[in-house]
Structure 1
Amino acid sequence: MSDHAEPRKGTPSPDLDEAEFRRRFLAQFPDPAFDALADELHRIASAAWDAYSHHRKSPHTRKAGAEFHDPDYELSVDWIAARDAIRAAQDQHGQQGGPSRFLLVSGSSRSEHTCPGEMSKSYRLVQLARKVLEEIPDTIVEVLELDRLTAEYGRHIHPCKACFSTTAPLCHWPCSCYPNYSLGQTQDWMNEIYPMWVRALGVMIVTPVNWYQVSSPVKLMMDRLVCADGGNPDPTRTQGKDARLAKRLELDGWDYPRHLAGRAYSVIVHGDVEGAENVRRSLSDWLRFMQLVPAGPKAELDRYIGYWKTYATNHLELDADKTIQEEVRNAARTLAEAVMATRTGRQVSAGNTLRNPRQK
């Protein structure tokens, strides 16, 4: 491999000494209820330091087995379970004569169960779409409420570590960066979210505009879905996270598998001042790049609810806006129609059998 493709190094080390590690670890337990357990917590901190200092990211592994490039490589049992869940979801997705499956993503971080004290408009719009879809016979609707990241104990979507930007084969499908037990990066929600996307025949994302962008939870999910767009389904080919070996694989020729290709999508973006059109376009471009298929013009909306009105009355503004309510219902109907047409062979996207000459 030529020198210019060698992994670049040079950033400062993030390693902590034991004293700082202990301080941060024990800072998780400030409640007086833990005072009587101080001795136990210090022993647990010692065990956690041992795991951290020895970089035990995946303490439980097993041999990969004959289906992998290197059957003797020790794969994380967490990753194997996540891969098996995706495989089962793919079987459901491809089931001939099975139900039509839809995923509705409520993208706001606002929830009545945490600091804001009130539900989001995104959630309400998702419920309008859900009711339309659930009235269709032989249909299953899953709702992904991303506000649970802010309101529910132990819910995390950890940030993408950008393995793909080093080289595509280093990004595994599903993501193998988490859990990382040595760093305390655990309880990652994405291993439950990946199968939701895989199962679905149609996906609708509803998000507010937050500072000219999608909400924080939606962006976290988007970044972690990069492995669905060209990710490597066999970590043994890169011996885990061997960046040099992974670069060689890409330079030798990588097929950039699109693991979510062909699913229909709908995007609904709502704002109150600016940015809705650009966010809608950004989401749609992202989904198209992953080779999902737009359901139709009526399935993509950017609208303002309570334009330049006070935030205190935003739900009243939505109550009064019967037009956007019906537009959301129509978006759901359009998504359903696209899925049904595709399943029965009545809708074929021109050029969908052509290979893109620009993979990366």
Structure 2
Amino acid sequence: MANDVRTGQAPGPLQRDEFGRRFRQAFADPAFNATRSELDRVETVAWRAYEQGNKSPVTRRAGPGFADPDYELSVDWLATHEALAGAQARHDDAAAGSRVLLICGSPRNDGSCPGENSKSFRLVGIAQQALQQDGFEVDLLDLSQMTSDYGRRIHPCKGCVSTAMPLCHWPCSCYPNHAMNQAGDWMAEIYERWVAAHGVLIVTPVHWYQVPSVLKLMIDRLVCADGGNPDPTSTGGKDPARAKALELAGWPYPKHLAGRAYGVIVHGDVGGTEATRRALCDWLDWMGLIDAGEQARLDRFIGYYQPYATSHQALDGDDALQQEVRNAAASLAHVVGELRAGRQTAPDLLLRRPRRK
């Protein structure tokens, strides 16, 4: 039944003392001692917001174009929604230059604990130069900034899609949740950058036979791009019963990023490169992106079973890999050009899927 919503997993709300202990963790530096009375007042306000569940303390009417124009929507979500509309307009502008979103999936950089650039970042630089030489606008998204920038974060996906697809809003409406101190979510900006791009090139290392956590966070939060609901008023915000009923009535599972081209470059030192590359390509295929050919789907080892300390030197000497990265960028550039000129489409564009999900 559509209203068969299973509950009972979540723990109860925090007690006042435990809330205060968690709140004060961010102010353990003795330099804050002189501001304790001010912090106590801020903590009291934060506690009241938590008690009342003020997820979106600032809202306005949804307005025309929504199922319920009078529904009060978060101004944060509306701002992201409007930014995505603008990004889609830029993407669709035939007179605008071609744009590639170039993603560095490593968490490592010289501004945080490792004290050194990542090899992914160096490979990204090779690809960026090749794309710019082809006349492309390159938007570099360096996910390592989550480890080196103050307050830079991507919150985890809450899995709304598995309750019902329409409960997973496009863009994601789970954040910010001000009452739970779940604010400052970088994905609001990242969604816009994906939408504006004509092509996407991901460069990543392997961490334990998988992608690094910074890249996986972004991947999971892009689930709303594959079937997500652009109208939170249709589900009354986060009403699971309404979302289930809406899905069961017949949901189209719109693919909001379909038709963009992609390339993937994966590198490792002992194992996991092929499986990681396949997983990334499978994910992008599923979302309706179009692969840019065999040379744009690359997995290679750098310094195979050699010390980590000399891995940059190993990359210095691998001229073949550097050229393969240039080839991947060139292949992506070519396919983006063909797609924008209307000379290429997805091979299965005219086929009807027998399974909607």
TM-score with structure 1 setting the length: 0.98
Counterpart residue number, 1:35: 33
Question: What amino acid sits opposite 1:122 in the alignment?
Answer: S
Counterpart residue number, 1:61: 59
Residue 247 of structure 1: SS of its match in structure 2? helix
User: Structure 1 segments of 4 or more deviating over 3 A?
Assistant: none
CA contact (8 A) 2:259 2:345 kept: no
Question: CA–CA distance in 2 between the matches of 1:339 and 1:12?
Answer: 45
Question: CA–CA distance in 2 between the matches of 1:216 and 1:317?
Answer: 25
Say if 2:296 is the partner of 1:299.
yes
CA contact (8 A) 2:87 2:195 kept: yes
Residue 206 of structure 1: SS of its match in structure 2? strand
Counterpart residue number, 2:351: 354
Unaligned runs of 5+ in 1: none
Counterpart residue number, 1:128: 126
- Could you tell me which of 249, 271, 274 is aligned with 1:277? 274
**Pairs within 5 Å for 1:74-89:** 74-89=72-87
Say if 2:92 is the partner of 1:104.
no
- Could you tell me which of 20, 25, 50 is aligned with 2:48? 50
Counterpart residue number, 1:337: 334
Question: What amino acid sits opposite 1:147 in the alignment?
Answer: S
Question: What amino acid sits opposite 2:220 in the alignment?
Answer: D
Question: C-alpha displacement at 1:231, in angstroms?
Answer: 0.2
TM-score with structure 2 setting the length: 0.99
Counterpart residue number, 1:267: 264
Question: CA–CA distance in 1 between the matches of 2:346 and 2:289?
Answer: 11
Question: C-alpha displacement at 1:355, in angstroms?
Answer: 2.3
Residue 270 of structure 1: SS of its match in structure 2? strand
Pick closer, same or farther for the CA change 1:100–1:10 going to 2, 3 Å: same
Say if 2:189 is the partner of 1:180.
no
Residue 306 of structure 1: SS of its match in structure 2? coil
Question: What amino acid sits opposite 2:14 in the alignment?
Answer: L
- Could you tell me which of 116, 119, 123 is aligned with 2:117? 119
Residue 28 of structure 1: SS of its match in structure 2? helix
Question: C-alpha displacement at 1:97, in angstroms?
Answer: 2.1
Residue 82 of structure 2: SS of its match in structure 1? helix
- Could you tell me which of 285, 288, 302 is aligned with 1:288? 285
- Could you tell me which of 298, 310, 314 is aligned with 1:313? 310
Question: C-alpha displacement at 1:344, in angstroms?
Answer: 1.4
- Could you tell me which of 1, 22, 25 is aligned with 1:24? 22
More displaced 10-residue stretch of structure 1: 287-296 or 344-353: 344-353
Question: CA–CA distance in 2 between the matches of 1:55 and 1:350?
Answer: 48
Question: C-alpha displacement at 1:14, in angstroms?
Answer: 4.3
Question: What amino acid sits opposite 1:182 in the alignment?
Answer: A
Question: CA–CA distance in 2 between the matches of 1:173 and 1:189?
Answer: 15
Question: What amino acid sits opposite 2:255 in the alignment?
Answer: R
Question: What amino acid sits opposite 1:57 in the alignment?
Answer: K
Say if 2:219 is the partner of 1:222.
yes
Question: C-alpha displacement at 1:51, in angstroms?
Answer: 0.3
Question: What amino acid sits opposite 1:244 in the alignment?
Answer: A
Question: What amino acid sits opposite 1:86 in the alignment?
Answer: L
1:268-325 CA-partner distances (Å, limit 9, x unpaired): 0000000000000000000000000001111000000000000000100000101100
Residue 138 of structure 2: SS of its match in structure 1? strand
Question: What amino acid sits opposite 2:304 in the alignment?
Answer: Y
Question: C-alpha displacement at 1:11, in angstroms?
Answer: 1.1
Question: CA–CA distance in 1 between the matches of 2:98 and 2:12?
Answer: 47
Unaligned runs of 5+ in 2: none
Aligned-residue Cα RMSD (Å) equals 0.9
Counterpart residue number, 1:8: 6
CA contact (8 A) 2:187 2:218 kept: yes
Question: C-alpha displacement at 1:193, in angstroms?
Answer: 0.2
Question: CA–CA distance in 1 between the matches of 2:340 and 2:45?
Answer: 53
- Could you tell me which of 237, 240, 244 is aligned with 2:241? 244
Question: CA–CA distance in 1 between the matches of 2:353 and 2:336?
Answer: 24
Question: What amino acid sits opposite 2:155 in the alignment?
Answer: H
Say if 2:254 is the partner of 1:257.
yes
Question: C-alpha displacement at 1:359, in angstroms?
Answer: 2.0
Question: What amino acid sits opposite 1:99 in the alignment?
Answer: G
1:217-266 CA-partner distances (Å, limit 9, x unpaired): 11000000000000000000000000000000000000000000000000
Question: CA–CA distance in 1 between the matches of 2:86 and 2:217?
Answer: 24
Residue 26 of structure 2: SS of its match in structure 1? coil
Residue 143 of structure 1: SS of its match in structure 2? strand
